[in-house]
Every structure is written in C-alpha cells, then in structure tokens.
Structure 1
Amino acid sequence: MGDALRLEALLRSIENPQPLTSAAPEGPSPVATAMKAVLSHWPTIALTSVAAVAVAVAYLATATPQFTASGLILIDLKNGASLRSTAPTVSDANVDSANIESQVELLKSERIVRRVVVAQNLADDPALQPGPLARTLSAITGTVMFWKQPAPAAEGADPKVTGAARALQKLTTVKRLGTTYVVEVSATMPSATQAAAVANAYADAFIQDQASLREELSRRMSNMLKARTDELQAETRKAENAVEQFKFSGSLAGESSALARVTLKNLESKAQTYRVLHDKFLERYAETWQQQFMTLPDAQVASLAYPPQSKSAPKSAIILAASLFVGMALGLLIVLLRDRRIVGLGT
C-alpha cells in the first residue's frame, strides 16, 4: 500500500514539475547599458571622427612634403697611411674605431655644412629660412622671456650662410653603420632631387675638406722641414770650412801633431754628422713637398644618394589613423558627459 502511494506521488511530480527555486528577474548588465547608450549616440561619435579626419586631410593637403635621401661614405684610413714615411704599426688598428668616430663628428661640424650651403647656393633657400610662426616665436621669446639666443656667427662670416648652415644641420643626420667603416649621410629637403643633391654635396664637401686639411698639413710640415734643412746646410758648411781651415793652418806639422790629428778627426766627425742630418731632412722635405700634390683623403663615396621614390614626411597613414582615433575618443568623451547613465555606471 505504501509503495503504491509513493509511486503515485512520483508520477504526479513528473507530470507537474515545480521549480526548485524562484529567482528575481535580472536586469541588463552595466556593460550592456553602456553599449546601448554609446550606440544610441553614434552620430555624435561619427561626426567628431569625420571632423578629425577632415582636419588631418586638410593638413596633409597643405603641408609641404619632405623627402629623405641617403648616401654612404667609406672611411679608408689606409689612404693616409700610404703617404707616411714609415709603415703603420700593429697598434694603429686599435685606434681605427676612434678615428672613424672622429670623422663622423667632423662630418657633423658646421664647417662641413657651410661648405654644402655654399656649394649648393642654399643661403637664400626658402626651405632653410624660418617660417612666420618660427619668426614670431623667436621674437616673443627673445624679448619677453629669458630665452637662450642662437650663437652668433664668427667674425667675418656671412650671416645668411651661417643661418642656412645651422638650419641644414637640423635636416641632416650622420651616423656610423654599426662597427663598420661606412658612414651614412641623410638629408631631408622639400624636393626629392634636392635631398639627393644635398646628401651628395655633403660627401663631396667632406672629402674636399679632408684633402684640404691634408694638403695644408703637408705644406706646413714642408715649410718647417725646409727651414730646418737650410739651418743644417749652413751648419754643415760651417763645419766643413772649419775642417779645411784646420788642414791648411799648419797645425798637423808641429810637435803636437797627434793632438792636432785628434782635433781634425773631431771636426770631420762633426761635419759628417751635420751632413747626414742635412741629407735626411732634405730627403724628408722632398717627400713632404711632393705630398702636397698627391694628397689622398681618408674618405671616399661608397654609394651616391639618389632621389627617393616616396616622401618621408608627413606620414599620411599614421596621421589619418591618429586623427581617427582622436576623433572617436573625443566623441566618446562627449557621450560620457551628455549621458548620465554612463557617468553613473559605477554607482
């Protein structure tokens, strides 16, 4: 009887199931609320995004494109060593790296840039002149604020060349490629052709400067050797004359002929020493004099700079992507400020 009742109750529960627990209906999540509010204001976000992109497009349409051309210079230290009177020692290799770094710093110097400005007639180039905004800021910072003024030009230097050279320094980069003997020179100008011309002129100016420095060094050393050679020649003649005068003085025939022969030997030795020194300095002077006409710089062009196919700045893709991001962020901010539901999410 009891089993029959239990079986009947089980059948009823299967036919009419009852919920085990009752739960209150859940409302929408905060994230869903925020998404709904943002989607409801999509025109605002779209409008700010379009406006930001439009500003970027206007900038790209009016901005002056910049092109960067690069050339390679090979620092060949063997050229200078080939003109030395003595062969290079093994220890010279230990200072090669420092010498190359020194050449890189010389490439960056204003002296080389001034050569480029003069060679390319860039003193009045608009690309190297300050724009209206820069002139206005310079005037304000120079009169109102305690701002560091540009260094004055050297005495006798053309102010236009100096200004153009300092502006060009900011548009060029010089760097050594790793630990190699190769130095890359890059120039950025509004024209692709001009950028390549400036980069090549940079290399030419540096090589000419190296040749001029070596020629000047050879000339100065030649003058010093010439002066010392003349002095030794005079001393040699004086010593040889003393030997001849002593021989014909009759001192060798006297009772002290042994002492006289010692004196004569000393005079001849002195004359011979001066003669050897004079001959060595004369030989070195001749070598140095010849070097003025066969100087070789420590650098040569490894690869010319060619006009680039595309501009290096402004970068259109990056600017458009950034403007789109800024426009969307600005639109979201406006939505956050206008919709209290989003502002109050954390409460």
Structure 2
Amino acid sequence: MLHSNMPQMNRDRRPAAAPSGEAGVGDMINFAFGLVRRQYPVILVSTALALALAVFYLRITPPTYKAEVQVMLDDRKAQYVKQESPLAEPDFDITRIESQIQIVRSSAVAIPVIKQMNLAQDPDLTSAPLSLSSIWRSIRNLFAPPDQTPPRTAADEPPEGLIAAFENRLRVNRVSFSNIIGISYSSRSPVRAAAVANAVANVFINDQMNSRFEANRRATAWLQDRLQRLGDQARAAERDVDAFKVSHNMVSSGGKPLDEQQITDLNARLVATRAQASDALARLNSYQAILHADAKNASTTEALGAVSDALSSPVINSLRTQYLELYRRESEWAARFGKNHVAVVNLRTRMRDVRNSIRDEVGRLAATAQSDYDVAVARQKSIEKQLDDAVSKSRGANSAEVALRDLEAKAKGYRSLYETFQHRYMGAVQQESYPISEARVIYPALPPDSKSKPKSALILALGAFGGVALGLGLGLLREMMDRVFRTSTEVETALQTPCLALTPRVQAPKSPKITDADIPLLDAERRQRIVPRRSSIDSSVVATPLSRYVEAIRAIKIGIDLSPSKTSNKVIGITSALPNEGKTTTAASLARLIAHGGGRVIAVDCDLRNPSLSASLAPGATTGLLEVLRGVRPLEEAIWRDRATDLAFLPVVWRRDPPFHTSEILASEATHKLFDRLRAAYDYVIVDLPPLSPLVDARAAASFTDCFVLVIEWGRTKVDVVQHALHNAPNVYENLVGAVLNKTDVKAMTHYDSHRSDYYSDRHYARYGATERV
C-alpha cells in the first residue's frame, strides 16, 4: 500500500466518514444491493442470453415420453408344487431382487425385444444425439482403417451400438423396499414407449419360465438315469438271492427227503433260531456301531444308513428326517448369512438336540436287541443240543443262511432306494407341467399423456437461475477488476489523504472561435490584456454560482485554507496522475472562484509542454511565463485579466518547438524569484502543473509550491497508477493537501456509496437554491 512505500506526512489524517454501528451482515447486504444496482445491465443481458439458450434447446430437442410397467417378483407357490419340486426354493431377498434387475438390463432380454419389436429400424436408436463423445467418435472413425468385418445379415444378432442405445433408454429400478420392480422405456413416441416396456416385461417373464422349465428338465433327466441304474441293481440283488437258495438247496420242508424229516425239522428250527440270533446280533452290532460312532463325534445319520432295522424305526426315521432338513437349511443359511449368524447357530443347536434324541432311541433299541439276542442264543443252544443228540455225525452248521440274509438285506435296500427315487421322479415329471413363474405383471405400461423430458419449466428455471448467477459472477468479476476510484472513502483509504471534494461531471459547452475582430482589440489594449469571454466549465463559477459544481470548488478552497500542514498555503499546485483528468479545469475554476469572492489571485500555467490553460484563457498571448523568466518582457506585460472576476493569469506562449528541459526551468532560481514576487503580490497563486506520471515537472515545482491538490478522474484512473505516481514523487505527497475526485457521476454514486446516498440527493441542494445547470 501507499502508506508503507512512501514517507508519512506529519499531519493528522482525517478518518473517512463511515456509518457507525453497521458492519458484518449489513455491509454484505449493502454491497450485494449495490452490486445489483451497478451491474444490472450485465445481469439482464446474461439472463436474457441464458433464457434464449434454454428456449433454443427446448425448440431443437425432440420430446421424450417414458412408459413404465411394474412387475412383481413372487415366490409363493401352491403347497403341492413345493413338495413335488426337485429344486430348492429360496426366498426372495435383496440379492435375488438385484439379480433379477440385472437380468432385465442384460442383453439376454434386450436382444429378443429388439428382434421382436424390430427396433433396428427405430430412429430413436439409430440416430444418436449430438454430443462431444459422438463428435469424437466420428472424427476417430475418419482416420481409422476400414472395417473388414463382413456385413451383418437379418439373422445376425443386433450390433453392440444398437444394444447399448436400447439399454440407455431402458431403466429398471426397485419400487421402494417391495418385491416390485419398475421397467420404464423412453421414446419419442408414447405408443412405442409403452409397447417396448410391455415387451421387455413379457420377455423377462418368459425367460424366467423357460429357465425353470430347463432346470426341471435337467433334474428329471438325471433322476430318470439314476432310477434306471437303481432298478438294475435291485433286480440283480434279487436274482443273487434266488441263485444262492438254489445252489444251497434251501427249499421248504415239503421238498426234503422223508427220512430226514426229523433232522429237517430240527434243522429248520435251528435255522430259524440262528436266524433270530443272527438278526438280533446284527441289530445289536449295528446299534453299538452307531453308539460307538456317535461317541467318536461321527455323524449319527451316516451310521444309520447301513442299518435297516434302525431305519425301519419310525421314531428314528422321523428324527433323521428332521436332522436332514435342519442340515440342509443350516448349509444354505450359512452360505447366505455366514456361519456365525444367530439363525445358523440356532439351527446347529436344534441339530445337536435331534442327534441326542437319535442316540437315546438307538440306545433303547440296542438294549432290546441285546435281550432278544440273549434269548435267541439260549434257544439256539438248546436246539443244537437236541440236533447233536439226534444226529451224531451231522455236518457242521451251515453258514449259507448268513450269506443268504446278507443277500436279502442288500436286495431289500436296493428295492427301497429304487422306490424312493421313483416317487421323486414322478413328482419331477408332474412339476414340468405346471406353468408357474416367479414374476407377473401387476401394472402394464400405458402410453403417457405428457412428455418426460425435456421439462420446459425446469429448463427455463435453470436457464434463468444460471443467467442470473452468471450475471452476478460477471458483475462481481467486473467489480474486482474495476481498480479505479469511485468514492471518497476509497481515495482516503488508498492514498491516506483527505478527499477535498467530489466535483460532478458537467457537459462542457461549445466555445466560440476567436474572430479576426478580436485580435486588433487585443493589440490595441496590449497593456491591459483581457481574458475573452467564453462558455466553459470554469466560467460557470460566475454564471451559476449556486450550482453543485461550484459548491464542490468551494469545498476545495475550504480544504486548502483549513489544511493543518502549514500556516499559509499561498502557492497552490494543481496536478494529476495522468493527463485529461480535469486538473486544468479545476485550477481555472478554483482561481475564478477565489477572484469572484474578492481575493487577489493569479493563475499561472506551468504546463510548459501542453499549456491547455493558456489556450483557454489567453489564446492570443504573445508574451508569457518563459519570456518573463528570460527577462525579455516584464511581468506586467505578460499578465492577462478577467473583467468579470479581476482574475490575473500568467500564460505560457505555445510554440512549435517547445523547450526540452522544462524541469530545469521550473527548478531554476529565476522561477523561485518570480513566485516570491507573486506570493508577495497576491493572496493565492494557483499553479496548473503537468501530470505526475508522464513528466517530472511537478516534482521540480515542489520547491516553490506551498501545497498540492491532486485531481483524480472518477471511474477512470487506476488506483495502482495514482499510488505509483505519488510513490515516485515523495516531495509532492508530503505537501499534498488532499485529492479531488473529478468528473463524478452523482447519480451513480448512490450505487457505490449506499451509506451516504442522501448526501448525493439533489433535493438538499435545491432547498438552498443550488442547481445542476451550468
């Protein structure tokens, strides 16, 4: 900032007048309203352009209609269907629902629908919308090598681009947390949208039915093959039993020799007794094997598989059925919910309870078998003793009966398993005839009455909102880039110097040209050179002394007179940072104002390279400041006077070859002596100096100037330029009385300085007779 880069002035800087007690939110609100008032043309233009773009988009974008069909996923089937089904029937959960949604979105559904509805000729899918990706794809295809793939025929599958376009228009989602999925399709035609949505639902349902039929067919084929193998094994076991009987001459008692009747009867009784003992022993061994296996933490149900008597027990069979069902559910739930899930742990607990019940029942059966075995053994021993007594030399016990029982048990097991699979096979065959699907349409798609997109109200609202936002952004950007002086507070903050006045922008009237009749008059009155009367801005001091402009010039004089820097400010330098900021007009107006008030004042044009003040007040001068400094002419012959205000003016005669070393001229001893004479002869010496940035003449004039007034053009001069100019001219800044914000747009000031909006109101000036007319 300026105050950190240049010497500080040894005087009190007056603080900027700011509203007390207002900060924070109030300042932000005032800034926002001021921004809108200042930048409303930009906001209106951007809003209008955004709305025009929105209307253009609505005109060129074809309408799109969306039709939706709702499909319910239901796994509830008749009880007899569940019993006869050879497949597992898991319940619907979020995973299965999401799987069904992905099936609807897949190409397995898209391809049949495209073929069925002949969507390959649909313009919605063949004409892709214009986008950056489509443009890039077209450019890339121009430089890509030619495609050698043979053209597709009518029987080929749809191309991937067509399938992708179809899937982009298809939307599938779950309706809330229900088992209902919504299938919607977007098209330019409402009838086409409804037809395609219904076709997708029908294809999906048919696919579900076909998949179930195919699964049942495969299960039935496997059961049929397995049933055939089991039947062959059962018949082979039965044939082995018959062959064994024939080979060992094991016939009924009527077929034996009569002389062996007694032995046969005893033998028959012995065989029966041994059979009973063998059966009882087999059962006992089986039960003990089951208990032994259970003691070793083996599966009780696996041990039961080899014991027919145990399986024939209704209690064990019921418990075994329960155990197998729990085991199946535990496997499914563990895979679905995890092994440590509460439901899985509960199933394991129930399985353990069923195993304990099976073990208890097997123990009871083992005790019964032990008792039966003991009785059979005792009876067998008795019959064997009788047989030994009857036949001393009979052959040893025939072990054929044991082998026969084994063969019969094997044949019985195969037959039982065959009958079980035959029952399941018949159920699977019946299941194929049930036309039941897991999905059904609950609300078919109907042609929509209104388009789904583009939404005109939303597009227009977004366009208006975007235009306003863009306008505010551009306006804020302009505000941030607008590094110029707008208010007196900005001047005082940026330059650390008081703002003496805000001179309003006034229109300069047209000045009449000097006629040939005026020149002889000047020559005749050479000793009393008269400033010609012209309609200029500075002449308004006399013409309209109550105007707002003149009141601002009075504020400059008061600021100079009341400056605490020095006791007397007689020689006042008027300068600016850049040319054309109004310093010359301000100097002439200030000089006329002081002269009109009765003060002795002389205006001196020290802008030696561009004497614009001389061109305005003394256009025909032939003697001026340079001639006086050289001693060619006396001071009295170079001074011009204004008849209306008795203003004295020392011009500079403009020549085609202006002096080069103007700064040395202003810093010379002759210039100092001249201004000492003027300081003694006049109350005020108003010096029109060159601007600070292009030249250094104003810095050279600081040696004979008591104070300076810096003129800044409102809304044009950059803050950085003025700070840099004062930074390079520290002697000017040290003697700076204040700054003047010139050419101010008073009406626009209410937008930039809302806190003091009443200060710029014309009604207060009009009350005291002030007027804006110049």
TM-score normalised by the chain length of structure 2? 0.35
Match of 2:417 among 243, 253, 277: 277
Contact 2:234 2:418 in 1 (8 A): yes
Contact 1:124 1:164 in 2 (8 A): no
1:303 aligns with 2:443: yes
TM-score (norm 1): 0.74
Structure of higher RCO (CA pairs closer than 8 Å, 6+ residues apart): 1
Q: Following the alignment from structure 1 to structure 2, what is the Cα–Cα distance between the partners of residues 74 and 32?
A: 56
Following superposition, the deviation at residue 211 of structure 1 comes to 0.5
Amino acid aligned to 2:447: P
1:116 paired residue number: 113
1:339–1:123 CA distance, 2 compared to 1 (3 A): same
Aligned with residue 229 of structure 1, among 196, 219, 227? 227
Contact 1:114/1:162 (8 A) holds in 2: no
1:221 shift after superposition = 0.7
Residue aligning to 1:10: none
| 2:187/2:193 contact within 8 Å kept | yes
Structure 2 residue runs of 5 or longer lacking an equivalent are: 1-15, 20-29, 145-154, 257-394, 491-774
What is the 5 A alignment of 1:253-268?
255=395, 258-268=398-408
Q: How many residues of Structure 1 are paired with residues of Structure 2 in the alignment?
A: 306
Task: State the identity as a percent.
Answer: 33
Distance 2:77 2:70 in 1: 18
- How much has 1:131 moved relative to structure 2? 2.3
Distance 1:37 1:100, change over 3 A: closer
Q: Which residue of structure 2 aligns with residue 7 of structure 1?
A: none
Q: CA RMSD in A?
A: 3.7
Match of 1:128 among 125, 129, 133: 125
Name the residue aligned to 2:104: 107
Q: Which residue is equivalent to 2:272?
A: none
Matches within 5 A, 1:45-194: 45-79=43-77, 83-85=81-83, 96-129=93-126, 131=128, 133=130, 134-140=133-139, 158-194=156-192
Preserved CA contact (<8 Å) 1:70 1:199: yes
Task: Kindly indicate whether the alpha-carbon contact (under 8 Å) linking 1:110 and 1:166 is maintained by their aligned counterparts in 2.
Answer: no
Measure the CA separation in 2 of the matches of 1:290 and 1:340.
83
Residues 1:46 and 1:286: Cα distance change in structure 2 (over 3 Å):
same
- Farther off after superposition, 334-343 or 215-224: 334-343
Say whether residues 1:323 and 2:320 are aligned partners.
no
Query: Which shifted more, 127-136 or 169-178?
Result: 127-136
**Post-superposition offset of 1:269:** 1.7
**How much does 1:225 deviate?**
0.7
2:138 and 2:59 map into 1 onto residues whose CA distance is 29
Question: Quick one: which amino acid aligns to residue 319 of structure 1?
Answer: I
1:191–1:35 distance in 2 versus 1, CA, 3 Å: closer
Deviation of 1:233 after TM superposition, in Å, equals 1.2
Question: Which stretch shows the higher mean deviation, 168-177 or 208-217?
Answer: 168-177
Task: Give the match's secondary structure for 1:300.
Answer: strand
Q: What CA distance in whole angstroms lies between the structure 2 residues aligned with 1:316 and 1:184?
A: 25
Query: d(CA) in 1 for partners of 2:17 and 2:82?
Result: 97
1-side partners of 2:417 and 2:18: how far apart? 110
CA distance in 1 between counterparts of 2:225 and 2:31 reads 95
CA distance in 2, matches of 1:102, 1:80: 24
Conserved 8 A contact 2:84-2:430: no
Alignment match, 1:20: none
> Measured at CA, do residues 301 and 311 of structure 1 come closer, stay the same or move farther in structure 2, by a change above 3 Å?
same
Q: For the structure 1 residues 76 and 339, does the alpha-carbon distance in structure 2 shift closer, same or farther, using more than 3 Å as the test? A: closer
| 2:536 aligned residue | none
Change (3 A) 1:249 1:184: same
- Pick which of 95-104 and 134-143 moved more: 134-143
The AA in structure 2 aligned to 1:303 is Y
Indicate if the aligned counterparts of 2:84 and 2:428 stay in contact, CA closer than 8 A. no
Looking at structure 2, the residues matched to 329 and 97 of structure 1 have their Cα atoms a distance apart, in angstroms, of 43
- 1:201 aligned residue: 199
- Match of 1:118, SS state, is helix
**Distance 1:32-1:99 versus aligned 2 partners, 3 A rule:** closer
Q: 284-293 or 202-211: which moved more?
A: 284-293
Structure 1 residues 51 and 201 mapped into 2: Cα distance closer, same or farther (>3 Å)? Answer: same
- Which residue identity lines up with residue 165 of structure 1 in the other structure? I
- Does residue 294 of structure 1 match 2:292? no
AA aligned to 1:99 is R
Report the counterpart of residue 13 of structure 1 in structure 2.
none
